[in-house]
């Protein structure tokens, strides 16, 4: 019985081909099969963009587009105390000030800061056209209430709400972005153009491939679900839905992983061979190859070289990884951020990551 596996004839990925058209599998670190005794087969991978489906997930929640309908605007924030009772005897004067019958109201404030804060919150909650401040005179605190220059709603007793209908405590609309044949940045630019806003209004956990069907979570600041839902009639290859309102945006890395559905075409092998290979894959797993998206494009420091050193870092090869990573111009942005001192500390001290992490600017996402 011949158990020899076929040669690695077509394992050079699209990313590696971009780095060099002449690279062989062994040159990029692919030297053996995970299951050498399992008979392999040939197939066409990612022949069409619909052959690669990616769904982002957080916890047990997968990004699936199941509804395009907008949802009601978020309910306004309700204070956890009786607002009118808290203002007590000053309610009639506040109503008079709110109607414009007077110009200012001044009354003695409680000594406790928490009580003063609740009074300010109560005034903002009941009278959107009034503003209040605390003033200290002769060691005593007073609350000064005046009408705003820009009256939002004369006589309104509703909490302040933004022009788009979103409450102050939930200023972000969380939704699922479905896209076909576009990368995430391009999709965000399309949404921004239709809404006449900057791309920084949107935030997401990670970028998704162009040549694929992908779904991912996105948050939009100060844009309600109705506005986003109306875009669906104008979008091509994009859809937004499954809306909810949240208090904070997404950040890069705010995901637990991606679920992949891969279609193989032109499979030239008996069903039994394919099933045996798939079962072996389920048991053993696969190698997560270091693609170009991790370390950038460069002929001097190829992604697979950096990946090779990172994989072997448990053997104490961090300096080699650092030297390879910091060549110019593979990680131009990162190389500009890291000082020479940090790099030396990275390679020479007990905690080799500490120096680099401490010297990175605040806006850079730091992961260890």
Beta partners for residue 250, in sequence order: none
Give residue 200's Cα distance to chain centre.
Answer: 12
**What pLDDT does 220 receive?**
97
User: Mean pLDDT across the stretch 75-82?
Assistant: 52
pLDDT higher than 60, residue 31: yes
**What pLDDT does 148 receive?**
81
Q: Which has more confidence, 155 or 183?
A: 183
| DSSP 8-state assignment for residue 167 | B
Give the pLDDT band of residue 293 (cuts 50, 70, 90).
low
**In angstroms, rounded to a whole number, what is the distance separating the alpha carbons of residues 147 and 100?**
8
pLDDT higher than 70, residue 80: no
Span 161-199, pLDDT tens digits = 454 556 667 789 999 999 998 999 999 999 999 999 999
The least confident of 5-14, 63-72, 183-192, 294-303 is: 5-14
Tell me the three state secondary structure of residue 35.
coil
The least confident of 57-71, 211-225, 301-315 is: 301-315
Tell me the three state secondary structure of residue 88.
helix
Q: Which two tokens stand for residue 211?
A: 């040549």
Strands 238-246 and 172-180: antiparallel
pLDDT higher than 50, residue 70: yes
Q: Which has more confidence, 13 or 219?
A: 219
**What pLDDT does 272 receive?**
92
Contact between 253 and 93 (Cβ < 8 Å) = no
Share of the chain above pLDDT 70, in %: 64
Give the pLDDT band of residue 15 (cuts 50, 70, 90).
very low
Q: Which has more confidence, 205 or 127?
A: 205
Q: Please name the residues in contact with 7: beta carbons below 8 A apart, sequence gap of 6 or more.
A: none
pLDDT higher than 70, residue 73: yes
Q: Please name the residues in contact with 254: beta carbons below 8 A apart, sequence gap of 6 or more.
A: 58, 205, 217
Q: Which two tokens stand for residue 320?
A: 């080699």
**What pLDDT does 27 receive?**
74
**What pLDDT does 104 receive?**
87
Which of 165, 160, 143, 134 lies closest to 97, judged by CA?
Answer: 143
**In angstroms, rounded to a whole number, what is the distance separating the alpha carbons of residues 333 and 296?**
10
Buried b (16+ CB within 10 A) or exposed e, 123-157: bbbbbbbbebeeeeeeeeeebebebeeeeeeeeee
**In angstroms, rounded to a whole number, what is the distance separating the alpha carbons of residues 343 and 324?**
12
The least confident of 19-23, 38-42, 100-104 is: 19-23
| Residue 59, CB-side half-sphere exposure with 13 Å CA sphere | 1
Tell me the three state secondary structure of residue 218.
strand
**What pLDDT does 150 receive?**
45
80 is catalytic: no
Give the pLDDT band of residue 47 (cuts 50, 70, 90).
confident
**What pLDDT does 341 receive?**
54
Contact between 231 and 29 (Cβ < 8 Å) = no
**What pLDDT does 120 receive?**
85
Choosing from 21, 101, 138, 209, the catalytic residue is 209
**In angstroms, rounded to a whole number, what is the distance separating the alpha carbons of residues 180 and 169?**
33
Q: Which two tokens stand for residue 12?
A: 């050079």
Tell me the three state secondary structure of residue 20.
coil
The least confident of 43-47, 120-124, 287-291 is: 287-291
Beta partners for residue 55, in sequence order: 215, 259
| DSSP 8-state assignment for residue 239 | E
Which of 183, 173, 163 lies closest to 224, judged by CA?
Answer: 173
Q: Which has more confidence, 106 or 149?
A: 106
What does pLDDT average to over the chain? 76
Contact between 110 and 116 (Cβ < 8 Å) = yes
Q: Tell me which residue has tokens 């894959």.
A: 281
The shares of helix, strand and coil residues in the chain, as percent rounded to the nearest 5, are 35, 20, 45
Which of 24, 83, 56 lies closest to 261, judged by CA?
Answer: 56
Q: Which two tokens stand for residue 131?
A: 């503003």
Span 93-122, pLDDT tens digits = 888 888 888 888 888 888 888 888 888 888
User: Mean pLDDT across the stretch 248-276?
Assistant: 92
**What pLDDT does 111 receive?**
83
Span 161-170, pLDDT tens digits = 454 556 667 7
**In angstroms, rounded to a whole number, what is the distance separating the alpha carbons of residues 118 and 108?**
14
Q: Please name the residues in contact with 189: beta carbons below 8 A apart, sequence gap of 6 or more.
A: 199
Task: Write down all domains in the chain, each with its CATH number in brackets.
Answer: 52-70+170-258 (3.30.70.3160), 83-146 (3.30.1370.30), 300-367 (no CATH)
């Amino acid at each position: 019985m011949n158990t020899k596996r076929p040669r690695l004839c077509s394992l050079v990925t699209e990313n590696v081909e971009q780095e060099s058209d002449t690279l062989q599998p062994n040159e990029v670190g692919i030297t053996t099969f995970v299951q050498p005794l399992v008979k392999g087969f040939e197939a066409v991978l990612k022949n069409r963009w619909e052959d690669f489906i990616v769904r982002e997930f957080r916890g047990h929640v997968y990004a699936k587009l199941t509804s395009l309908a907008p949802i009601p605007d978020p309910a306004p924030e309700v204070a956890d105390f009786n607002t009118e009772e808290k203002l007590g005897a000053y309610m009639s004067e506040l109503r008079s000030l709110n109607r414009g019958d007077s110009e200012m109201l001044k009354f003695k404030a409680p000594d406790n800061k928490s009580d003063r804060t609740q009074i300010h919150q109560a005034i903002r909650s009941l009278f959107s056209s009034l503003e209040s401040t605390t003033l200290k005179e002769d060691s005593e605190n007073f609350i000064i209430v005046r009408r705003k220059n820009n009256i939002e709603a004369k006589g309104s007793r509703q909490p302040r709400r933004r022009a788009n209908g979103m409450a102050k405590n939930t200023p972000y609309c969380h939704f699922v972005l479905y896209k076909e044949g576009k990368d995430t940045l391009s999709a965000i630019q399309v949404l921004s153009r239709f809404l006449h806003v900057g791309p920084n209004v949107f935030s997401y956990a990670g970028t998704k491939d162009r040549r694929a069907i992908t779904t991912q979570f996105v948050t939009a600041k100060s844009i309600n679900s109705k506005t986003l839902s109306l875009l669906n009639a104008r979008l091509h290859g994009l859809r937004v839905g499954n809306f909810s309102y949240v208090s904070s945006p997404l950040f890069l890395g705010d995901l637990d992983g991606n679920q992949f559905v891969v279609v193989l075409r032109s499979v030239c092998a008996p069903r039994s061979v394919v099933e045996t290979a798939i079962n072996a894959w389920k048991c053993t797993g696969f190698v997560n190859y270091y693609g170009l998206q991790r370390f950038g494009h460069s002929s001097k420091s190829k992604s697979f070289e950096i990946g090779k050193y990172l994989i072997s870092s448990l053997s104490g090869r961090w300096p080699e990884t650092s030297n390879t990573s910091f060549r110019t111009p593979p990680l131009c942005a990162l190389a500009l951020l890291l000082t020479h001192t940090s790099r030396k500390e990275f390679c020479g001290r007990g905690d080799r990551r500490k120096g680099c992490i401490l010297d990175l600017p605040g806006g850079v996402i730091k992961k260890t």
